Amino acid sequence: MEPRRSTVTFETLGEGLIARLTEAIAGARRNPLDRVTILTPSVHSSYFLRRALAPAGLFNVDFTRLEEVAERLGAAGEDRTPLSRLHAAEIVYSAAQEAPFTGVLDGLRGHQAFHAALHRTFGELETAPEEVVARIAKTGGVPSQVVGAWTKYERRSRAFADRPSVARRAAQVFRAGGENVRGLGRILILLAEAPPLQYRPLLDALLASEDVTVIVGLTRDEDADALVTRILPGATRGGCTVSGSRPAAGVHLVSAPDRAAEVRWIVRNVARLVAERRTKLSRIAVFYRDESYGPRVDEALRVAGIPTAGPEPTSLAQQPEGRFVTGLLSARGELARDAVMLWLSSAPVKSPDPSVRVDAARWDAVSRNAGVTRGREVWRDRLAAYARGRRRERHRRRGGSGFSQRCRSRANAWPVHRAFRR
């Protein structure tokens, strides 16, 4: 009888991947209580998958990362403590402070983003041959200074077991088996992105094991998927059985710096499809998850002279009538001054008397000077006191009942608190 071999399955990211994982969990168990460990690319993906798979039942299913498995297995028989990301970050900070940086790097040595960039670079230098590092150091400039900081980092981190040595030790422990390995149960690997090179020895050992199932998550973008699929050939020679078919490339991932750039890219490509491929506009659709994209895309297409058809991109709540209703409902409760002023300034509020114009800026200044905060009584009492004070002041300065009457009629033309009568 041929030995059972691990299986590598290709699946497109999305609902199909969730369904495939659900089937893999059920198929990996001989007993419904058997333990299953799923290796995910990141902590965030573990949270998402746990919630997505919860309806199918997740008893005794552990979500973890390849790095955590390496530390769990590699710590056995290791004299030195594995270098955690927290300890590594502290050493990176010390190396950045001590390194003889000059020029632009000298002004960045205390910046957090610079420390994160150094941390990523040091992770790549961990797996680089010594002759390559020496060659970079001779180039001068910024690369040479980074290698100098790397030298200080490496010297400080020698008290810990670095990630490559932990991964190699973990691979040995996994191949030998034992209680720690059996405690993982059946292992499912979600290979949605290329793992760090430092952990490649452990990944190769896992891919060659008969107790491991691998699901490769594809984006249907050839360049992005190549970063993941190129990991598999060596493992396939080690005994993996590859099943499933790679979907045809038809989806392309685009990175844009902001929403405006995204919208411009959409407009350019719609125009290109029409001009170069003679694609009918009725065969082109633009989908978005955030409703705020609707007005942006619609306006950009119309400016470019591309007709659109579909639902109104502006919701009723965003139109003047909708803002009037929502603002009124928000302000009516406690009559907070800020809410009332927002309603007056953002909606077409009119006085019951058509001849009187509601000046939002004027009411904002009057209510602030009157000391209005919130509440119907506060509005009524403090505006009345403010009006009396203004009338007395004007009368005292200029005298005459005619001006006093005009002030009184203008102050009482459209009291805000009367608009909220029950």
pLDDT digit string, tens, across residues 56-92: 778 888 999 988 888 888 876 667 787 878 888 899 9
Q: Is 236 helix (H, G, I), strand (E, B) or coil?
A: helix
Instruction: Provide the CB-side half-sphere exposure for 339 (13 A, CA).
Output: 17
- Look up residue 10 and give its two tokens: 């290709």
Q: Which residue has the tokens 């270098």?
A: 83
Give residue 160's pLDDT: 85
221 or 280, greater pLDDT: 280
Give residue 241's pLDDT: 45
> What digits encode the pLDDT tens for the residues 294-308?
888 888 888 888 888
Cα separation, 395 vs 270, in Å, equals: 68
Which residues touch 259 (CB under 8 Å, ≥6 apart)? 292, 293, 296
Q: Is the dihedral of CA 250, 255, 259, 264 positive or negative?
A: negative
Q: How many domains does the chain have?
A: 4
Residue range 163-187: mean pLDDT, rounded: 86
Is residue 393, in this structure, part of any structural domain at all? no
Using DSSP bridges, classify how beta strands 241-243 and 186-191 pair: parallel, antiparallel or unpaired: unpaired
Q: Are residues 65 and 192 in the same domain?
A: yes
Give residue 237's pLDDT: 37
Domain region containing 350: 320-387+413-420
Is residue 24, in this structure, part of any structural domain at all? yes
> What digits encode the pLDDT tens for the residues 13-46?
888 888 888 888 888 888 888 888 999 888 888 8
Which residues touch 86 (CB under 8 Å, ≥6 apart)? none
> What digits encode the pLDDT tens for the residues 332-391?
777 788 888 877 777 666 667 777 666 777 778 888 888 888 888 888 888 888 888 888
Q: Are residues 216 and 354 in the same domain?
A: no
Is residue 213, in this structure, part of any structural domain at all? yes
State the virtual CA torsion across 336, 340, 342, 346 in degrees, nearest 10.
160
Cβ burial, residue 94 (10 Å; 0-12/13-18/19+):
middle
Cα separation, 221 vs 224, in Å, equals: 5
Is residue 35, in this structure, part of any structural domain at all? yes
Q: Are residues 18 and 60 in the same domain?
A: yes
Q: Which residue has the tokens 């030998």?
A: 176
Q: Are residues 194 and 225 in the same domain?
A: yes
Q: Are residues 292 and 228 in the same domain?
A: no
Give residue 409's pLDDT: 52
Is there a contact between 387 and 412 (Cβ–Cβ < 8 Å)? yes
Give residue 247's pLDDT: 46
